[in-house]
A = this chain, B = another copy of it.
């Protein structure tokens, strides 16, 4: 058998170094400087060879879990979806602001799909003939699109990104919920294999629909979600659906109906001004500490439970409101007051009675509020008093009522949704299950993993001052062989072949490359640190004298000289461990 060709860094294009980064360098800057990717437009990236290898490895690992653990079949749906289909599902307007939309030369309206529930449900609806074909599990790993208001942090929040999306179709709710649990188990194994400390939390289903969902979060200060957890009882939820007993906030001694704050929002359809009234000060029962609140503390998820069309992306609503009022075509404008229940009924009375004590209406705004329809809410649809303030670390756990809560910034890397019949019903994905004589909609689930985001998050989570630091499962190469000044190419190839021939643990993960670039040894070692190879094997001074190589592993703080005969065992162990 011909031995496989030696992989050489001189044959791979990855422009490293030379990109000046100002200020504290984040992982995204390191990804650029080390030549993994380049930004092409805001929130869009060209993957260079190193970045593509990382992406390939993450995709391969996720795909093998989908197929081996879940028996899922891989498909590849068109990136382009017809708007008509999204109208049928009733979702077009809800997500319109984040869609890239366009028409073809015949004026047929299309969009770049951010997700594929509509397409896959429509495909299954017109393809599956019998309930016997279910359960069905279909997944793909493709580019998705979302016209984010503020793309940032590189791969963590892009407008074009790679996502793995799995869709499941079952004959019954029970079977669909079993599928749901199987996928959750597979997700835990995937994140464990990626060596990322991801925590599953209960979450809101948002625009997706359905009524059971979990998010998979990596704690990080760059995250845009907050995970609320209790170490005592294991409560772990997205802040969006966290509840905190309002009694924790009962005031003592401060009159809220005079010390209030207001935050103003507007709905996505620009017809409603949303006034959010919240207490300026609260005091916790546990610590009796006085807290001051700003607009940052308003829990928009609660506001959305009253006014679902709120556009959370708008920072200054008044100009948009003024434009809406001024527009002649806009006949129905409305004001919605959302009031934290702690402000009390006297505040509500004063507000609805247009008391001059409450300067609820800037004088420059026309028409005066008294001429507009107003609705005011201080409790939710079930009559529960509204708590508009976000949970803080130290608040009491609503589940065990003993522990105190911890609030962490986190980044969502995956999401599981039990969808029920949310899409199968409007799009007609039905089966007739004996003894029934009429068709019933399939029970669906959808399950995403943000491949691009996993790459960005792993870079962020594991990088240190000297560079990136990949786990073996997603490193562009698992091991680099660096020849020192005093050894020739044949020596380096000998070491390369020793490592390539590893058997036993770690074997399947070995992906070695030889750094044969015409650069100095210190330059290569610095570059290797920046790129973040998990294992580095150096043919240094000891090579010439005692034929021993130096094995380095930054993640473990390991530097060890070994005889070449012992190299496969050590490198194999490191591969199995990292």
Contacts and interface: CB of A to CB of B under 8 A. Distances in A.
A128 B51 CA distance: 17
A86 to B, nearest CB: 13
A521 interface: no
13 contacts: A12-B73, A40-B78, A40-B81, A40-B82, A41-B80, A46-B123, A78-B160, A79-B143, A80-B100, A97-B105, A100-B110, A101-B102, A102-B102
Given A40-B78, A46-B123, A47-B75, A13 B138 contact: yes
Nearest to A313: B105
A94 to B, nearest CB: 16
A416 interface: no
A79 B47 CA distance: 11
Given A47-B75, A74-B49, A100 B100 contact: no
A127 interface: yes
Interface string A216-248: 000000000000000000000000000000000
Contact of A73 (B46, B49, B119): B49
A329 B177 CA distance: 63
A311 interface: no
Given A75-B49, A160-B80, A38 B149 contact: no
B123 A77 contact: no
A317 interface: no
Contact of A55 (B76, B97, B138): B76
Interface string A11-50: 1111100100000000000000000001011001111110
A136 interface: yes
A435 to B, nearest CB: 21
Given A44-B80, A79-B143, 10 more contacts: A15-B129, A38-B123, A38-B127, A40-B81, A46-B75, A48-B73, A51-B76, A80-B160, A97-B105, A101-B102
A353 to B, nearest CB: 40
A254 interface: no
A381 interface: no
Contact of A41 (B52, B82, B101, B102): B82
Contacts of A160: 78-80
Interface string A102-118: 10110010100000000
A100 B97 contact: no
Contact of A15 (B78, B110, B127): B127
Contacts of A110: 41, 100
Contact of A40 (B11, B73, B77, B138): B77
A290 interface: no
The listed residue with most B CB atoms (<10 A of its CB), out of A18, A40, A100, A160, is A40
Given A15-B127, A41-B110, A76 B102 contact: no
A5 B127 CA distance: 28
Contacts of A13: 73, 75, 136, 138
Question: What are the 3 tightest A-B residue pairs by CB atom distance, in nearest-first order?
Answer: A102-B102, A13-B73, A47-B76
Interface in A61-75: 68, 71, 73-75
A248 to B, nearest CB: 40
A51 B358 CA distance: 66
Contacts of A119: 40, 46
A58 to B, nearest CB: 13
A38 to B, nearest CB: 6
Nearest to A48: B75
A110 B147 CA distance: 12
A429 to B, nearest CB: 13
Contacts of A79: 79, 143, 160
A110 B100 CA distance: 10
A52 B38 CA distance: 29
B41 A128 contact: no
